[in-house]
Amino acid sequence: MKKKTPDFEIQQLGEPTFPSPVTSGYFTPDSKRILYNRYLDTLDSTQADKHIPPSIEVAGPRRMIYVDPSTVKAAIVTCGGLCPGINDVIRAVVMGLYYRYGVRNIAGIRYGFQGLIPKYRHEVVRLTPEFVKDIHTLGGSVLSSSRGGQDVVEMVDTLCRMNINIFFCIGGDGTMKAAELITKEINRRDLRISVIGIPKTIDNDLNLIDKTFGFDTAISMVVHAIQCAHVEAKGAPMGIGLVKIMGRESGHIVLSAALAQNDVNFALIPEVPFDLEGEKGLFNVLEKRLRKRKHAVILVAEGAGQELFADTDPKQTDASGNTRLRDIGIYLKTRIEEYFKKRDMEINLKFIDPSYTIRSVPANASDSIYCELLGQLAMHAGMAGKTGMVVGLFNGEYVHLPLKSVAFRRKVDLAGNMWMRVLEATGQPVSMKN
């Protein structure tokens, strides 16, 4: 069966006819592209025979732009959960539009997509360099956020009433899906509004994107929590440090943090089911570790071990349609303590959940640099008339990707190098299933 060749073509609102006011002298032509996959044998036979592998447009300022900067009105919205670096991105977009293109009308949409729905009566914020100059020192989003879908027709109606030319959407996979729907409605009406996505998910699990902003900050904060858990575990007989962190459907934070701080003995992620009881189960393996080394550190993603809960209650969802997760941290704490009590074995377990502390801090230096660049590249794409796209890092290159190509979550590759390295670093069994 032939493999489907991915389509990475970026929509263009029209022919760029205005010379860019950007004076850096560095411009990126649309013809500059990178290969999606360097290995031709992974393509379908038609593409391979023609020697035309799929390629992706490289991001950067264009010599000619689509819109007259003096007439542009841009809007920025932040959606979903909070994440370090949101304010850095907002600041980069505003500063770039104002000083590099001379755009004077920039609106901040409050409380996510709710801000485009009249019934909520959220006020629009006028974004200026004075307003954003210090926001990168703050955590969260100065525009605030919300979850949940809103009526696409109403949202586009509002964009039209506001005379918006460029709409920047900062968010994760749900936001990118919504931005794609907004783009389709704009296209259906034959409007000239550019929709540009900027990928935000602290879990670092957007498809095709190497790294989302906030991830580096999250790792540095999780490492601190692991250090504390390790100190607590070694500070008492048969000590256990249990740390629960973010990761609804993927364990990328757990993996990177475990490798960054080699004190983790068990890395539990959503992609790898595990048993508690039995010869291969977590309890037995943990007991062996304690008897041998007298302490242990467990790092668990919030979405791990959901299969351990009895499905006695109907599954609930949040406003975005995500399944409400059971608290695996508290569950493991309780079950571990019960197990060792039955074994008449004294343990000292300390449970740490730094999740919301991590989400709300300002970005670290690495993330700040990354956010600045993402904001600038998104701004250039919008001014060039690109639409229905997201700017992101792919295979080490900053590129333009269609919204539809990133709007789902990327799992940990259990056959990949990263998971193998974590198994080697922790020493945990390949499987804890009986």
With 80 as the cut, is the pLDDT of residue 226 above it? yes
Tell me the pTM. Answer: 0.91
| CB 116 within 8 Å of CB 167 | no
Chain segment 374-405, per-residue pLDDT in tens: 999 999 999 999 999 999 999 999 999 999 99
How high is the pLDDT of residue 1?
Answer: 41
Q: In the chain, what are the domains?
A: 11-212+362-406 (3.40.50.450), 215-307+315-360+415-426 (3.40.50.460)
With 60 as the cut, is the pLDDT of residue 48 above it? no
User: What is the Cα gyration radius of the chain?
Assistant: 24
Catalytic residues: 203
Q: Which residue has the tokens 């997760």?
A: 325
With 60 as the cut, is the pLDDT of residue 216 above it? yes
Residue 326 DSSP one-character state: P
Residue 31's H or E segment, with its range, is none
Q: Which residue has the higher pLDDT, 407 or 205?
A: 205
- How far lies 128's CA from each of 74, 132, 133, 150, in Å? 12, 6, 8, 27
| CB 392 within 8 Å of CB 406 | yes
How high is the pLDDT of residue 314?
Answer: 56
| Span of 97-101, 298-302, 313-317 with lowest mean pLDDT | 313-317
The 3-state DSSP composition of the chain as helix, strand, coil percent (nearest 5) reads: 40, 20, 45
Band (289; pLDDT cuts 50, 70, 90): very high
- How far lies 192's CA from each of 117, 136, 184, 185, 252, in Å? 20, 31, 12, 11, 38
